[in-house]
Amino acid sequence: KDALILLMQNSNMNCSASHRVLHSYSTDRLQDTLIMQPLWDFVRSKEAWLKSPLFPVLFSFTVYMTFCLPYVLLDFVAVRVHSLRKYKIQPLASPTLKMMLACLIQTVNNHIIYIFPLTIVHWYWRPVNLPVVAPELQKVLLDVIACLLLFDFQYFIWHVLHHKVPWLYKTFHKAHHKYTATFALTTEHSSAWETLSLGFFAALNPVLLNCHPFTEMIFFLVNIWLSVEDHSGYDLPWSTHRLIPLGLYGGAPHHDLHHMKFKSNYAPYFTHWDKLFGTFAQLH
């Protein structure tokens, strides 16, 4: 009799625990649905445009220019406003309109001549599939971080090779080092090979990690923003590297020093690879 009572109590406890787990999962899923599903439904409402072969190249260029614009305006204003200029990493260097136009022309040329034909091939090879259900918010965050970490590793290896092998540097990477004081529009001032190879890494990683299409779009947005911020030439109070603790993220000061010194800080975003291989340096 006592054993039967004990068994019933354990059964009730297990059922109660299972109920709490299911309730917690249901609550989390409901929150994801309330947050992510309306956003994803809005994106899917533009399905005809998303499935157009023109979308990837226009999306990339438009997002890039949108993120560059605030820094371009800041460059013009900071020349006259000392309270803003103090945030510039190299305060004695200011980009001219001619320099900005040269970078813009290079970016447009790369998008039209090289990126657009490849997006047509990609559109034909991998048709756009838009599932009805949005991804869970937690999974989106984890997948985006995973994509960034993988891209950071790929770029670090690519970058070291293109600095250590003289032929690779002179042939492909030297164009990106035309300016030792970076500004936002230098982000995509690079050779066709560099633009395409880094774009390949960015496009490949969400596929390797089997990301939801919405997650893939969010990763592209974050990746472009971080790249522009890295090359902005400004260390602002709200910069990403100030929001991430323990010096795990280098940000604009980390990458600006690479353009100044050439032989350190090869990773684009995080600092662990440079610290591990002894190529980490800091501005003083």
- Please state, in angstroms and rounded to a whole number, the distance separating the CA atoms of residues 127 and 138: 26
- Please state, in angstroms and rounded to a whole number, the distance separating the CA atoms of residues 206 and 125: 16
Question: Is residue 144 over pLDDT 70?
Answer: yes
Give the per-residue pLDDT at 282: 86
Tokens of 165: 């092998």
Cα 186 to Cα 94, 172, 194, 259, 271, distances in angstroms = 13, 15, 13, 11, 21
Confidence of residue 283 (pLDDT cuts 50, 70, 90): confident
Torsion of CA 150, 154, 155, 161, to 10 degrees: 160
Give the per-residue pLDDT at 128: 81
Mean pLDDT score, 245-250: 93
Question: Is residue 27 over pLDDT 80?
Answer: no
Give the per-residue pLDDT at 7: 46
Cα 76 to Cα 15, 27, 58, 84, 188, distances in angstroms = 65, 49, 26, 11, 20
What is the three-state SS of the chain? Answer: CHHHHHHHHHHHHHHHHHHHHHHHHHHHHHHHHHHHHHHHHHHHCCHHHHCCCCHHHHHHHHHHHHHHHHHHHHHHHHCCCHHHHCCECCCCCCCCHHHHHHHHHHHHHHHHHHHHHHHHHHHHHCCCCCCCCCCCHHHHHHHHHHHHHHHHHHHHHHHHHHHHCHHHHHHHHHHHHCCCCCCHHHCCCCCHHHHHHHHHHHHHHHHHCCCCHHHHHHHHHHHHHHHHHHHCCECCCCCHHHHCHHHCECHHHHHHHHHHHCCCCCCCCECHHHHHHCCCCCCC
Confidence of residue 26 (pLDDT cuts 50, 70, 90): low
- Please state, in angstroms and rounded to a whole number, the distance separating the CA atoms of residues 218 and 225: 11
- Please state, in angstroms and rounded to a whole number, the distance separating the CA atoms of residues 82 and 212: 45
Tokens 């090979």 belong to residue:
193
Compute the mean pLDDT over every residue in the chain, rounded to the nearest whole number: 88
Cross-strand partners of 88: 234
Most confident of 7-11, 157-161, 199-203: 157-161
Tokens of 25: 């999962």
Give the per-residue pLDDT at 65: 96
